[in-house]
């Protein structure tokens, strides 16, 4: 065979090394996990508040939107994974090969979206429902949670393993809640309405709900924004494809740091390598479909059915954490006091696990980009950069909570806008990257290319709607 010349662009970063694609696993159950982590981190306020709130207002006629959003994200996740499976590099590193600063642009937007610690105060607020303590204690509970998250992420010998275990426990708890809810709280009528919402009764319920809110619910069903990009980091740490050659992210305190190249690898498109690729690609697709996509949709469906069965038509419900207090109190009346408590306990733990995942994926994206692009020739390791970003996020969050600031309107505008803008832009970049950087035999084409075009159109439209709506709120238009 003639010598293979890598197709990954080397204008900005050094060229990749050529290595054979590793053999796919004999037991696929051993590497099930990244899709569940993606689903578990994504199962946050949207699944516990936004979608149930929609169900409480208009019933289940819009549940089809969750299916559309999750399927769209499944295609996005697979194109993010395609590049990492083929090279061992993250999607952000690939984007940075197209233009040096693409990675840091996405990192800054992710940081801006997640810098305000609202993702931990929701869990802390649910704890107050259990303890009966006042709203003033939310700050101190949230600070304690931030410290636990930072310690957990920076002292675990292998960080992905620790996160995966937390998410597995979360999903198990949510499963218990769903099973009990099906047995005792979800009505037969809600099953009928679910079927209608996916078939003959499906519609866009405008009015009474704001159109941008509904589009946002579709876009962020499951995950959204920077979290989708981190799917490549998680599969690499799990050892998918060429990621097996890259050392995992470990604690610089308790873990064993390994010397690692800041760039990845590429396999020659030989018959043997392409056979292994087809096996890896098939497994990765199934893993994402049966974990991320299925778990995300089932959680949205069952939490929406639970809300429909208990608070549908109730006046004065808010699309905020207060919604969960009303739902828990209703469950106490409908089923029994113990079930309302169980609902709040599992909700608090689930939102805490999501908060841990948010800190992890934000810090992973930042540390990988900073080390690979800007500190490539410096002696500092990616593990130490990760450590620094985690604690920086924690200390900023604590400072915000201690100062007692409310989230400023401008940050709400930026947070609402960034996720849609990110997904619009990286849908475009994925087409460029996965057609230009990969050999012809494995580049994106056909219906998957069409799915990315759909993603560009959808998130482009959502970007415009979100920016216009938030600008009107900000400037009083």
Each residue's pLDDT tens digit, 303-338:
999 999 999 988 888 878 888 999 999 999 989 999
pLDDT reading at 199 higher than 70? yes
Contacts 24+ apart (CB under 8 A), 252-256: 252/154, 252/381, 252/383, 252/384, 252/387, 253/154, 253/155, 253/387, 254/155, 254/156, 254/157, 255/156, 255/157, 255/158, 255/159, 255/383, 256/157
CB-CB contact of 348 with 126 (8 Å): yes
Among all chains, which residue has been given the structure tokens 């089809």? 64
1 belongs to a structural domain: no
CB-CB contact of 262 with 12 (8 Å): no
Query: Nearest-CA neighbor of 96 among 442, 376, 463?
Result: 376
Looking at per-residue pLDDT, the higher value among 414 and 267 belongs to: 267
Looking at per-residue pLDDT, the higher value among 196 and 463 belongs to: 196
9 belongs to a structural domain: no
pLDDT at 216: 77
C-alpha dihedral, 324 to 121 to 62 to 193, nearest 10°: -30
pLDDT tens for each residue of 169-188: 999 999 999 999 999 999 99
- Poorest-confidence range of 94-108, 130-144, 181-195, 250-264? 250-264
What is the percentage of the chain residues whose pLDDT exceeds 70? 94
pLDDT reading at 405 higher than 90? no
42 belongs to a structural domain: yes
Tell me the residue length of the chain: 477
CATH code of 64's domain: 1.20.1740
pLDDT tens for each residue of 356-377: 999 999 999 999 999 999 998 8
What is the percentage of the chain residues whose pLDDT exceeds 90? 63
3 belongs to a structural domain: no
Rounded Cα distance between 252 and 240, Å, is: 23
Name the domain count of the chain: 1
Rounded Cα distance between 303 and 343, Å, is: 11
pLDDT tens for each residue of 110-129: 998 888 888 899 899 999 99
Mean pLDDT (the chain) is 89
Rounded Cα distance between 71 and 69, Å, is: 6
Model confidence at 420, in pLDDT bands (50, 70, 90)? confident
Average pLDDT over residues 205-232: 82
Average pLDDT over residues 2-10: 82
Query: Nearest-CA neighbor of 36 among 304, 363, 361, 289?
Result: 289
8 belongs to a structural domain: no
Write out the two tokens for 322: 């207060």
Average pLDDT over residues 417-428: 87
Model confidence at 410, in pLDDT bands (50, 70, 90)? low
Contacts of 88 (CB under 8 A, 6+ apart): 236, 241, 242, 243, 244, 245, 246, 264, 265
pLDDT tens for each residue of 251-264: 777 766 665 666 89
Contacts 24+ apart (CB under 8 A), 176-179: 176/346, 177/342, 177/343, 177/346, 178/298, 178/299, 178/302
pLDDT reading at 1 higher than 50? no
Strand partners, 266: 18
Model confidence at 10, in pLDDT bands (50, 70, 90)? confident
11 belongs to a structural domain: no
In which domain, by residue range, is 197 found? 17-475
- Poorest-confidence range of 29-38, 86-95, 273-282? 29-38
Output DSSP code: residue 371. I
- Poorest-confidence range of 87-91, 212-216, 360-364? 212-216
Write out the two tokens for 31: 């590497």
Average pLDDT over residues 138-166: 93
pLDDT at 416: 60
């Amino acid at each position: 065979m003639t010598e293979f010349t890598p197709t990954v662009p080397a204008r900005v970063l050094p060229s990749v090394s050529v290595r054979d694609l590793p053999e796919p696993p004999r037991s696929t159950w051993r590497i099930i996990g990244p899709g569940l982590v993606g689903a578990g981190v994504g199962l946050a306020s949207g699944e516990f508040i936004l979608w149930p709130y929609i169900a409480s207002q208009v019933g289940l006629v819009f549940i089809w939107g969750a299916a559309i959003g999750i399927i769209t994200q499944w295609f996005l996740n697979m194109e993010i994974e395609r590049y990492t499976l083929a090279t061992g590099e993250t999607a952000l590193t690939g984007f940075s090969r197209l233009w040096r600063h693409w990675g840091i642009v996405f990192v800054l937007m992710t940081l801006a979206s997640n810098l305000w610690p609202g993702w931990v105060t929701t869990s802390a607020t649910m704890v107050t429902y259990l303890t009966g303590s006042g709203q003033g204690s939310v700050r101190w509970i949230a600070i304690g949670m931030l410290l636990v998250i930072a310690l957990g992420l920076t002292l675990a010998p292998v960080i992905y393993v620790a996160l995966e275990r937390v998410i597995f426990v979360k999903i198990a708890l949510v499963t218990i809640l769903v099973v009990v809810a099906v047995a005792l709280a979800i009505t037969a009528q809600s099953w009928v309405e679910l079927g209608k919402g996916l078939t003959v009764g499906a519609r866009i319920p405008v009015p009474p709900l704001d159109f941008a809110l509904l589009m946002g619910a579709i876009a962020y069903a499951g995950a959204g924004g920077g979290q989708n990009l981190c799917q490549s980091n998680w599969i690499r740490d799990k050892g998918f494809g060429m990621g097996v050659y890259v050392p995992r992210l470990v604690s610089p305190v308790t873990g064993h740091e390994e010397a690692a190249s800041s760039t990845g690898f590429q396999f020659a498109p030989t018959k043997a390598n392409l056979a292994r690729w087809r096996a890896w690609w098939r497994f990765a697709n199934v893993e994402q479909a049966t974990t991320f996509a299925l778990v995300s949709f089932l959680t949205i469906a069952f939490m929406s059915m639970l809300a429909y069965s208990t608070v549908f038509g109730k006046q004065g419900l808010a699309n905020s954490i207060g919604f969960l207090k009303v739902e828990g109190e209703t469950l106490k009346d409908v089923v029994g006091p113990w079930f309302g408590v169980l609902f709040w306990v599992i909700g608090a733990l689930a939102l805490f696990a999501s908060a841990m995942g948010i800190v992890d994926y934000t810090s992973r994206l930042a540390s990988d980009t900073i080390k690979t692009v800007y500190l490539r020739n410096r002696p500092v390791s990616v593990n130490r950069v990760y450590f620094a970003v985690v604690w920086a996020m924690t200390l900023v969050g604590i400072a915000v909570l201690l100062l007692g600031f409310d989230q400023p309107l401008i940050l709400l505008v930026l947070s609402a806008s960034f996720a849609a803008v990110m997904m619009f832009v990286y849908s475009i970049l994925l087409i460029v990257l996965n057609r230009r950087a990969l050999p012809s035999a494995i580049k994106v084409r056909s219906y998957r290319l069409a799915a990315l075009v759909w993603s560009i159109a959808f998130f482009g439209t959502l970007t415009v709607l979100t920016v216009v709506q938030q600008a009107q709120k900000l400037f009083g238009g």
